[in-house]
Amino acid sequence: MNNPGPFFWIMLFAISAMVVNAAGIFVISRNSRWAQKNVGHFMCFAAGMLITSPLIMTLPEALEKNPQAGIAALGGFLFMFLSNRFIKKHTETKELAFGITAVQGILIHSLLDGVVYTVTFTVSTLTGVLAGLGLVVHEFAEGVITYAVFLKAGVSSKKAVLYAFLVASLTTPVGALVAYPAISRVGDSLLGLALGFVSGVLIYISAAHLLPEAGEHEKEHSILLFLSGAALALVLLFIE
């Protein structure tokens, strides 16, 4: 029996991310106390994986394919940094404005997650798994946060569940489907640049998004969970 191709793995992880994100939305809508208590744990573990996988696998592979991939990685990091600065600049207003701009950021982020799956699994299954597991784990926390954002914007609980699913859950497989036709046809040189860009995105998400957010929900064993995420990424690499 033939091994599944890249598209199978891309959609498997993209749909898994959608399901985990939707689970976060559902759990907080039913049990907000439990979700708020554990959201930091998910972010710490995901941060450990997402900071490790680009440094030990994604970026080195990108540089092998294209020596300029480091510049692309810087571009990915700066893209996330500048877009997040723009979004934050417009959140210092009324609650509705906060909700709109925060949702824009989550929408871009979720679509980009789908692109990350497409690029990494196009390179190799292991590269995709290393990046994908961290992204899937952090989706639970993102679902919780997205639901909370809609509530803060004055949306009813039932509508918040629906809108959060459309914005944060469904957009990841959509992003993967939109990106796949283009990414699957590019040569190694362009793929190296794309992978470098993705590396910068992953490093930013971990270092500047997940870890600071997790710090605001500092819990017992947070450091251990972060190190466990990093260790899992290393184990997956060495059992290749």
Cβ-based burial of 71 (10 A; exposed 0-12, middle 13-18, buried ≥19)? middle
**Residue 170 domain-assigned (yes or no):** yes
| Measured distance between the N- and C-terminal CA atoms of the chain, rounded to whole angstroms | 20
Alpha carbon distance 139, 14 (integer Å): 11
CB 47 within 8 A of CB 214: yes
Q: Within a domain: residue 186? A: yes
Count of CB atoms within 10 A of residue 237's CB? 16
| pLDDT by 10-residue block (mean), the chain, 240 residues | 80 93 88 72 77 84 91 91 75 50 65 85 86 80 75 76 90 90 85 88 80 66 83 75
Q: Is 106 contained in some domain? A: yes
10 Å CB burial of residue 91 (0-12, 13-18, 19+) is middle
Domain count, the chain: 1
| Domain assignment present for 214 | yes
Please indicate, yes or no, if residue 35 is contained in any of the structural domains: yes
Q: Is the pTM of this model over 0.75?
A: no
CB 95 within 8 A of CB 26: no
In a domain, 115, yes or no: yes
Q: Which two structure tokens, joined as six digits, stand for 207?
A: 């270092």
State residue 69's pLDDT score: 93
Give 219's contacts (C-beta < 8 A, 6+ positions apart): 37, 38, 40, 41
Distance CA 146, CA 85 (A): 18
Is 1 inside a domain boundary? Answer: no
Q: DSSP letter for 2, please.
A: P
Q: Judge contact between 99 and 154, C-beta under 8 A.
A: yes
Asked, for residue 166, whether it belongs to a domain, the answer is: yes
Range of the domain at 227: 6-238
> What does the pLDDT read at residue 213?
64
CA distance 79 to 101: 17
Find tokens 């910068």 and name the residue: 200
**What does residue 94 show for φ and ψ, rounded to 5 degrees?**
-75, 170
